[in-house]
Structure formats: C-alpha cells, structure tokens
Amino acid sequence: MRQTKFFTKTQKEAPADEQAKNAQLLIRAGYIHKEMAGAYQLLPLGLIVIQKIKQIVREEMTVLGTNELLATNLQRKELWERTARWDDKVVDVWFKSELKAGGEVGLAWSHEEPIADMMKNHISSYKDLPTAVYQFQNKLRNELRAKSGIMRGREFIMKDAYSFSATEEQHEAFYEASKVAYSKCFERLGIGDDTYVTFAAGGAFTEFSHEFQTVCESGEDVTYLCKEKGIAINEEVLKKADLEELGVTRDELVATKTAEVGNIFNFGRQKAEEVGLFFKDKECERVPVWMGSYGIGITRLMGVIVEKFADDKGIVWPESVAPYKVHLVGLNLEDDEIRDWVDGIYSALTKRGVSVLFDDRDARPGEKFADSDLIGLPYRIVASRKGKESGAFEVVTRATGEVRSLTEEEVLADFVK
C-alpha cells in the first residue's frame, strides 16, 4: 500500500477529551476515529490490526473444534425474562429500544440466551453433544463511564463462544481446553508472558469465573499475583478465595494493575433449564444441557497491546498483529532515478509476499520519520539518495531501535522467509 492512497492523516494532538493513552495514540496515528465517548470507528490501519487479532483467535478456536457463526444483535425481551436478565437491576448495561410494531427489543451485550434458544433446533440427544459455537460480533453495553479508550467501549468487538455438554465431565474437558487455547492466543499476540488465568467473580454470569488478566499499568482491575507459581486472584474475590486450595499464601500475593482480556464461565445446567434446552440421555431421560460461555475482547486487545508496548515516540506493534511488516520510507523522491530505485525495492518485497506500507508522500524527512515512529510498524526501511550512492538501505527495528545497513539482496534475504 502506498501512503498517498490513504485518506487518513496522522495528527500531532489527540482530542482534548481523550484521556486514555491507547486511544490517543491510535487516533493520532490514524488507526481509529472517535465518534463519541466509548464509540470509535476503525480506520483502514485499525481494521487490519483487528482482522489479524481475529485470525489468530479464529485459528485457535478451530483447533479447539468450535463452529463459527454470526448471530443477530437484536434481542427478544421475553427470552431474557426467562432467565431474569432483562431486569436492569440484574444487568445494568442494556441498550433497549421500542419496536415500531410494538414491544421492546434489546441490543446484545452478550448472547448466552439466544444462542442456547437456537440450539434447541440442533440438540435433542446425547449423541449431539458435546458441541460448541463462537462468533465475532459488535456488542453494545451502556457503560456509565467509558474513559479507557478502546479498552472499555460502549460498542466493541468480542469473540464469544458457547459450549454445550451432556455431562459435567464433558464440560470440564472443554473448559480446560479453552484455557489452553486462550493462552496460545495471548502468546501469539505477544502478551502471553504477562497474562494470567485469574480466579474471579462471575458478575451477571455466574458466582465465580476465570478471567485472563494482562499486567498493564492503565488496566482497570487489581489482580493479586504470585508470578513464581503462576497464580492470580481478582481483588473482588480475594477474601472468598480458598488460598490453601489454590496453593498460595496471602504473603506471596502482590497487588498488580491488570486489564481483563478474556473470561470463561461455567453455567452448569441452570441456564439451559431456564431457556428450555434439554436432551435425552442414554437412559432416555430428559436432561438440561451443561453450558459454558467464553469471551475474548478483540478491540480491547488492540488497546492493551498499544498500552503495553508503546514508547514516547508512538505505537510499537508486535509483528503478529502489525498492519504491515515494513514501513518503506522514501526520501528524495523528486529525483526520478531515486524514485525508480525505491519503487524497485517496494515491488521486489511485495511480489515476495512481504506486507509493505510505502511512504511515497511529498513530505520532509523529519515528518516522515516522526509519522513512522507513531504508526509503529515493526521495521522501517529508509531509501534515500545517500543510500542509493552507497548501494544500501537503512533498516531500523522499531522495538529495539537497532539500525542496520543492508543491500537490496540482504534486505530480501532478511525479510522474505
């Protein structure tokens, strides 16, 4: 992609009302646009990052054996009333509206009830179990405060999955496999070493749950960590947690700021019984399905990654989610000979499958370098008249600042794998 083809521009300043570092940097670098508090539009660069995060999660969900679908965001009042979760005193984040044809409708903050209700058409026997489905979808939650940028939005993209099992043993097997799949996701996203499976409260879902909390100074949660043992407990349930059973003492736990990037819930049979999702077991007895729910905040992950890795110059993307691997910065492009040379390396890299953002703008070198640092691609290749004369490109690694001088052959050998 040539930068002159982008309609977006970088900004020196973020909106005055934007407090969160992740949103400030993403807005300034042209990844997102702030529509209102808690609601952001994904611009081309931001959309590519989100699609890459989705793909990593999708691949691990495929390994887990789940089926992808896409449910409607419109929610039936009567369905949620069966589980008492239509009541604003139980779930206080609903967006609700009136249908012109009459009656109320909700905009999905989660999908346990409608997905379970749908599965009544597909589950009737123990032979149909276990099974699981997942989706990527925009969720809407009427948060009272939305001051953490894309780490807590009123509209956000979530990967939500739902498991259906015949027995507790089947459920536990999938539940534990989900922990492994989630850990692989976070490892591939570059935050695995700082993300912990955390004993937590269930909120509007269940009494207890497991969260995936990432160490992050701007996170909204406090997690008590014992890094040596890999044990984490959310502050909300510290007093309720059985520390002896978890294998840790209070003195070993350190209060740490974290951001929740995923969660998993065990509903037992209650949710299915409320919705009316039953199956016939081997004895032909009518039994409620055992259910679980599993979420990953896709847009939140983008914000957490920015918060964790950004420096004083801008964003620093892990290679796995960067919108492009290379930022090719062309200088002295008014010289036709230099432009042809730069076009040559751009063509050579892209033809070999390397994703390149080519800064072909008519702008000063200092502006181009500042924008490159702000946008935060893993590698910057500088092509200039001086480089043409010496037959080499300047290659800078964004995360470390390492600078190398490479010939075209060396660049291709280094970046084409």
Would you give per-residue pLDDT tens digits along the chain (417 residues)? 999 999 999 999 888 888 899 999 999 999 999 999 899 999 999 999 999 999 999 999 999 999 999 999 999 999 999 999 999 999 999 999 999 999 999 999 999 999 999 999 999 999 999 999 999 999 999 988 777 899 988 999 999 999 999 999 999 999 999 999 999 999 999 999 999 999 987 554 456 789 999 999 999 999 999 999 999 999 989 988 889 888 999 999 999 999 999 999 999 999 999 999 999 999 999 999 999 999 999 999 999 999 999 999 999 999 999 999 999 999 998 999 999 999 999 999 999 999 999 999 999 999 999 999 999 999 999 999 999 999 999 999 999 999 999 999 999 999 987
DSSP string, 71-136: --SEEEHHHHHHTT-SSTTT-TT-EEEE-TTSSEEEE-S--HHHHHHHGGGT--BGGG-SEEEEEE
Predicted local distance difference test score (pLDDT) of residue 240: 86
Q: For the domain with range 31-309, which CATH number is right: 3.80.10.10, 3.20.20.70, 3.30.930.10, 3.40.640.10?
A: 3.30.930.10
Asked if 152 and 184 count as a contact pair (C-beta separation under 8 A), the reply is no
Could you give the C-alpha distances from 279 to 172, 235, 275, in angstroms and in order?
A: 19, 38, 13
Q: Which residues of the chain form CATH 3.30.930.10?
A: 31-309
d(Cα 2, Cα 347) in Å, to the nearest integer?
A: 11
Structure-token pair, residue 301: 């992950």
b/e code 314-341 from CB counts within 10 Å (16+ = b): bbbbbeebbbbbbbbbbbbbeeeebeeb
Between vectors from CA 364 to CA 359 and to CA 369, what angle results, nearest 5°? Answer: 55
Q: What is the pLDDT of residues 290-322, one digit of tens each?
A: 999 999 999 999 999 999 999 999 999 999 999
Cα dihedral sign for 196, 311, 355, 413? negative
pLDDT at 201: 78
Instruction: Cite the residue boundaries of each domain of the chain with CATH code 3.40.50.800.
Output: 326-415
Q: Write down the pTM of the prediction.
A: 0.94
Burial bucket for residue 415 (CB in 10 Å: 0-12, 13-18, 19+): buried
- Asked whether 357 and 323 are in contact (CB, 8 A), the reply is yes
Max Cα-Cα span within the chain: 83
pLDDT on residue 202: 58
Q: What is the DSSP letter of 229?
A: T
Residues 6+ apart with CB under 8 A from 283: none
Fold of the 326-415 domain: Rossmann fold (3.40.50)
